[in-house]
Amino acid sequence: MFISGKKCEPSSLQKANVKNPATGELVGAVTLADEKTLQDAISSSKTAFDSWSKTDPKDRAFILGKVSAALKEESIANELAVLLTKEQGKPLKEARREIEGVTEVIDYFASLSSVLLSPDAKFYQNSNGYAFVSKKPLGVCAAILPWNLPALIFSWKVIPAILTGNTVVVKPSTDGPLTVLRLAEIFYESGLPAGVLNVVPATGELTGNVFATSPAVQKISFTGSIETGKLLREKVFSAANPVQKRLTLELGGSDAMIVCGDVDVRWAATEAVRARFFNCGQACVSPKRIFVFESIFEEFKKQVLAEVSKIHVGNGLESETTMGPVCDKNQWERLIDVMGRIRLEILETESDEIPGPGAGEILTGGNVLKADRSGKPLNGYFFEPTVVALAPDRSKTSVLLREEIFGPVMVLVPVKDLNDAIERSNDTIYGLGASVWTNNLKQAKTAVEQLDVGIVWVNQHARVLPSLPFGGVKESGIGRENGEQVLNDYLETKTVVLKNV
């Protein structure tokens, strides 16, 4: 772990082994922080805040620029990508793209230093005198990271915080801590002052309790499950907790993709497969529910299966691999359980009146994968790319549409028209993102207006830019990451009214 700019080992004896999900080989191990170590990290960040908050924004941006330049060096970028692939499983190409994404986030926010350099006082004058508004950094901010995109989401939470003059304590996932720890090291090698960024692996429950109740922590940004996010929210806003603080929650999603009858079917199917099976389906904005107009449903199904057949599952370090394993045993076992429940759903619906394929059908996949397409044995947490077709009536209750499936499972549902598709898309507790695929501007406008989500894409899906706000509605969370407006989430506003001065 990194505290005050140095690697350190806590007194805790609890360790977490990090294993390659493709092979089971040990990649590394981290010692998990106890409460004292977490408090030490917070104290370090609180001390560093005094000077960092007074640092000129252009000097903060200069250090971030050095970090970005370091990450663009081929040797460092490749080192991080290999480490990320080893601990998380994704193909090297995806890992390299994630590291590139970190540099894009840094470059974007560093370019906003001029916004912070502009006069921090906005003057207003009327008959009652003068008033002005100024903004100052909050203090210590806490970031709790997921395992699926650890480097990218690290940048979403850390970069705007430190650019605005805050200091940050980061709790990485125990399934993906090594890349984050190496990133912290690069930040310090690039000149970041001690204590501005502290990275402390720890258990989730302990971290949540400490961050929620610490008087020094002014903001928490969390990405993870709905259940954990709700527990954290309850701790932060508990009547027994005397400490008020800001909270951003990104709690996942079950994105819908609406494919209208006027699109190029092959193109839409290709893009659906790309987006759904990216990162082995382990992405919150992955299109998990695909609603396709009846008029093109059979052709879309055919094209999807053709594209899925091209996916090469294997060790992410091998050049031919286009989809790696599931991240860990728990996720793998959840997938096995989900597919078991899907098979039961289909069987329970079978009758003379409603045959199995009429209720639902596993078109391809659905099983643990023991060998790649060449017959080479696979010993990790591999799962077949899976496509399931559901009848419209069955889709109202299916686990595939009621829960977020974090893995390589695509579900297709035929719909009558756009209104039917929008109604089904909104019939969920989630509200992160959705997309509509059409050449008709009127249909696109209708979907944009009526889809109850935080992000709508037209003729694309899961394209995320650091310049645009990212976040959802309903159970998908509160608050936003990214975009210029997120800077205000890390700044305190002070209104000053003067007369006769």
Q: Indicate the helix (H) or strand (E) that contains 308.
A: helix 297-308
Distance CA 273, CA 280 (A): 11
Q: SS3 for 431?
A: coil
Q: Which of 141, 280, 284, 327 is catalytic?
A: 284
How far CA 99 is from CA of 63, 89, 150, 151, 168, in Å, comes to 18, 15, 10, 7, 20
Strand partners, 221: 143, 248
Q: Which of 87, 94, 98, 250 is catalytic?
A: 250
Distance CA 181, CA 172 (A): 8
Give the CA-trace dihedral at 448, 450, 454, 458, to 10 degrees.
Answer: -20
Residue where the block lists tokens 């008959």: 127
227 is catalytic: no
Q: Are 32 and 203 in contact (CB under 8 A)?
A: yes
| Burial environment of residue 252 by CB neighbours within 10 A (0 to 12, 13 to 18, 19 or more) | buried
234 is catalytic: no
Angle at 171 between CA 194 and CA 12, to 5 degrees: 85
Distance CA 16, CA 13 (A): 10
Alpha helices in 53-177 (DSSP H): 57-72, 74-88, 92-110, 113-117, 150-163
Q: Indicate the helix (H) or strand (E) that contains 41.
A: helix 35-52
Q: Hey, what amino acid is at 359?
A: A
Alpha helices in 412-479 (DSSP H): 418-426, 441-450
Known catalytic residues?
250, 284
